[in-house]
Structure 1
Amino acid sequence: MTTSREADKSSLLFLDGKVNDYQARILIDCGASHNFISENFVKCHDLPTSSVASVSVAVANGIKSYIGQALVNFELQLDQFNDRIALAYIFPIKSDANYDLILGLPWLFKNNPHIDWKKRTITITSNHEKYLFKSTNSYKTTIKDNIVDTIEGIDNFLINAKQLSR
């Protein structure tokens, strides 16, 4: 017997914001060990990069790459909430991906947001002010017998980075 469950929205959380005043599509990802920014986004907006200690990055399909460049000390704006990000590794995110910036554990630890998965909202409290954000994605996924069929092309992934010893 086949059982199916239809979710109206993906479990991924996307926000629209700005990186150094440039419009950006942002993925909030608790599975990402670091913050990552699209190489295409950095090149397109001619953002200055810095050499950093190399990290080994492994994605879900097992492919590893090494990253030694990052965007450092940049501005992030989400509606009225302003933040400064210390570092985002430059990663060759697929050009057809639905995001420019991945905010991983460093950002989540720093801002400690409350995530309401049912309402698809993120609340950040900063300086006694509350900022509420609604995830902007509206994807539809069908799950049958533990196999995920993706509708409307959502990307499923995992990123883990480890610093290499010098």
Structure 2
Amino acid sequence: MYIYGFSARVLMDSGASHSFISARFASCLDVTPDCMTYMLYVSTPTGTSMYTDSVYRSCEMSIEGISLYADLIVLPIRDFDVILGMDWLSAHCACMDCYNKTVYFCIPDGTTFLFKGDKGFSTPIISFIQASRYLEKGCEGYLAYIIDRRKEKG
């Protein structure tokens, strides 16, 4: 899934009432958040809680090549870049099949599509240009040199 063209680690969470974006991931986007007219109190499954009043309205997302939009509330989350909660899932008539790790969507214009989730975390490979943009905006970067010493069977 992509947010404004950037590859994002996204959790579709039917247990979340709202949708959220990581403050760190959001800082790498060329978009300015809005200030909500109220302070939102958010409780997490780990028992911690926090307040926020920042939201990115109508964030452009791409799923399976289809453009969709979400209002994403800023939180200092770490494990995911975006959490799509019931506000977004219900607006897009999402039906989750947890066993097969798929989500069926029927968006308001009548378009239907199926999204197949990843089986685990994988680090996406990004281009030099994307990496440069992230670094220019203050994101952390790491350079790794990897040698695969396993022998190919042939």
Instruction: Please say whether Structure 1 and Structure 2 have the same fold, judged by a TM-score greater than 0.5.
Output: yes
Distance 2:97 2:16 in 1: 19
The alignment yields a C-alpha RMSD, in angstroms, of 1.6
Amino acid at match of 2:14: C
TM-score of the two chains, using structure 1 as the length reference: 0.66
CA distance in structure 2 between the partners assigned to 1:113 and 1:61 by the alignment: 26
Structure 1 unaligned spans of 5+: 1-16, 140-166
Residue 116 of structure 1 is matched in structure 2 by: 97
| 1:120 Cα deviation after fit | 1.2
Q: Kindly tell me the number of residue pairs found equivalent between the two proteins.
A: 119
Which of 61, 70, 75 is matched with 1:76 structurally?
61
Query: Which one scores higher on RCO, CA 8 angstroms, separation ≥ 6?
Result: 1
Greater share of residues in strand: 1
Matched, 1:132 2:114: yes
Partner of 1:93: 77
Q: Separation in 1 of the partners of 2:47 and 2:100? A: 33
Unaligned runs of 5+ in 2: 122-154
Q: Deviation per CA, 1:36-71, whole angstroms, max 9, x where unpaired?
A: 000000112243111112100111232221101111
Indicate how the Cα distance of structure 1 residues 128 and 33 shifts in structure 2: closer, same or farther if over 3 A, else same.
closer
CA separation of 1:60/1:119 partners in 2, compared to 1, >3 Å: closer, same or farther? closer
Give the deviation of 1:137 after TM superposition: 2.6
Distance 1:89 1:128, change over 3 A: closer
- Provide closer, same or farther for how the CA distance between residues 23 and 138 of structure 1 changes in structure 2, counting only shifts above 3 A: closer
Specify the alignment match of 2:31 in structure 1: 47
Look up the SS of the partner of 2:31 in the other structure: coil
